[in-house]
Structure 1
């Protein structure tokens, strides 16, 4: 395969897009995560809606705590998107070369996307768990990444892995692929270089696909947040209740018992807003910088090739 320029370009632009979108939307993500992690108990519910989380940060003068865990989340987002886009692009090119096809079918596209997503989740799950616990900690009391991981057992670091594997589908990339079908390179008739969507098309594409996916998978998303949430140290009863929610069955039972069927969709509006904006921004930024990244990668490869040739001649 040699030096896979297209895969590296896709991975780099995707990772940069994820980094920017995560940073911009992080306060919203923190409020959403804290709201999702709370389950109604016999006592009065602390957060009636997502705005209560924001008001708590403002009233306690802990606005900067809305960014607690940002470094970990950025690291997780960058690594995750880099692995995903590189794996997806790499496996797609490998499939086309081995099969001799000029385009990739829907079934093969789904398999490749799922494989790339599964590999990514396994690698980045400890970072995902750590960032969730830092976000759901009391404002101003979040621990750093190293301390969070050092106080976590190996199995706890992979809390929610099963659910994360179920959420690895990425409809945005598939929809993009469908839109780009029938647009081969005019010179070769094959996809020899990355095609770029307009910023508006990328925004709409990301918004629609992620909105549908979020609605279908939201109960699993909320269970994962509850499993990964930091344990409260306010009282022993609440801490004991939270420990029973560290499994999928425990989280499902807790939601059903205390909140009913609607509890499985608590915070859905905030999740859709965050997910849609994040996905749309990621795709828009990625599409804007893909061509620039492609040129830079090509220049880097040419420089390394010339340097290697000069060293051999000397």
Structure 2
């Protein structure tokens, strides 16, 4: 169903779904960031440490501190996912129109082509949303830095202060710090969507005997999105960890590179997968909800359109 809809519809549904999912899982995202930045951590139990971090934040700063940076992060999710789904669906429809003179959902592209189209869309979306992502990361890391310095001040750093700080440290280009690593991570949504497309094809084949034409069901959409995200995260997690640590650095004289950060992480107790458990849980819930809402919005639009045609005595579109 998805690929038959106009790019703007897919972009809006994807953006709205991601925003809802982001609000639901944001505390997990905050805990994941803190885990990824804890280089002196001795425990390797990611889920336990993540829960401990959340409890510590609530006790010291209050419940609202679990949502430090949520506004910029939600904005980044809206912008990134709108751009991603728009570019991806536009490119996919263009390829189908060029190769088959058709844009029907039942026509499947090879997995390699799906990955390539997703990668291009991912680079475009991350280039647009990266400044907001970086600001969010710094907002999430501020109180963590205060804890490591044993500061008794519980003062939260505001959005404008973080923006000024980033600009003073690295200039305008600082808002795209670590973009080279981000380009590689553009494979994340690409892999996620490619796996989800494969999952949908399997579901379609197994459910042809069902009388309902609505596919996938809410449960299937959630499971597919959650599973796809978990697979993508597991494959690319070392790069995710390196990107977070690179972007969280404040010193303008830092000479850290992707290679040096990965080597440093390899020597730490958690290794290259420090915080993976929380990242997978966050992605499992977040992407599952995101795909679920996206599919339901698209279903609502299609059903509303068909009802409108029937009301005016027009036949359904094949």
TM-score (norm. length: structure 1):
0.77
Q: Which residue does the alignment assign to 2:191?
A: 171
Q: Which residue does the alignment assign to 1:284?
A: 292
Residue 294 of structure 1 and its aligned partner are, at CA, apart by 4.8
Deviations 1:224-271 (A, max 9, x none): 11112265xxxxxxxx7x9747532342233234x16x4211111111
Query: Equivalent residue of 1:137, what SS?
Result: helix
| d(CA) in 1 for partners of 2:184, 2:124 | 12
| d(CA) in 2 for partners of 1:116, 1:61 | 38
Moved more, 242-251 or 10-19: 242-251
| d(CA) in 2 for partners of 1:65, 1:230 | 22
Paired positions, count: 275
Residue 91 of structure 1 and its aligned partner are, at CA, apart by 0.8
Residue 180 of structure 1 and its aligned partner are, at CA, apart by 4.7
Residue 101 of structure 1 and its aligned partner are, at CA, apart by 5.3
Residue 293 of structure 1 and its aligned partner are, at CA, apart by 3.8
Residue 206 of structure 1 and its aligned partner are, at CA, apart by 1.4
Q: Which of 161, 166, 172 is the aligned partner of 2:179?
A: 161
Q: Which residue does the alignment assign to 1:265?
A: 273
| d(CA) in 2 for partners of 1:247, 1:297 | 52
Deviations 1:81-103 (A, max 9, x none): 10001111111111111222552
Counterpart mapping for 1:291-302 below 5 A:
291-294=299-302
Structure 2 unaligned runs (5+)?
145-153, 206-212, 308-318
The 1:143/1:298 distance shift into structure 2, 3 A limit, reads farther
Residue 19 of structure 1 and its aligned partner are, at CA, apart by 0.4
Residue 178 of structure 1 and its aligned partner are, at CA, apart by 3.0
| d(CA) in 2 for partners of 1:5, 1:200 | 22
Structure 1 unaligned runs (5+)?
185-193, 232-239, 300-314
| d(CA) in 2 for partners of 1:101, 1:158 | 39
| d(CA) in 2 for partners of 1:280, 1:204 | 6
Residue 296 of structure 1 and its aligned partner are, at CA, apart by 7.1
| d(CA) in 1 for partners of 2:305, 2:181 | 36
Contact 1:9 1:294 in 2 (8 A): no
Contact 2:192 2:231 in 1 (8 A): no
Q: Is the aligned partner of 1:198 residue 2:217?
A: yes
Contact 2:7 2:89 in 1 (8 A): yes
Residue 5 of structure 1 and its aligned partner are, at CA, apart by 6.0
| d(CA) in 1 for partners of 2:85, 2:225 | 15
| d(CA) in 1 for partners of 2:50, 2:75 | 25
Q: Is the aligned partner of 1:69 residue 2:87?
A: no
Residue 128 of structure 1 and its aligned partner are, at CA, apart by 0.9
| d(CA) in 2 for partners of 1:116, 1:295 | 28
TM-score (norm. length: structure 2):
0.76
| d(CA) in 2 for partners of 1:28, 1:91 | 33
Contact 1:206 1:279 in 2 (8 A): yes
Q: Which residue does the alignment assign to 1:14?
A: 14
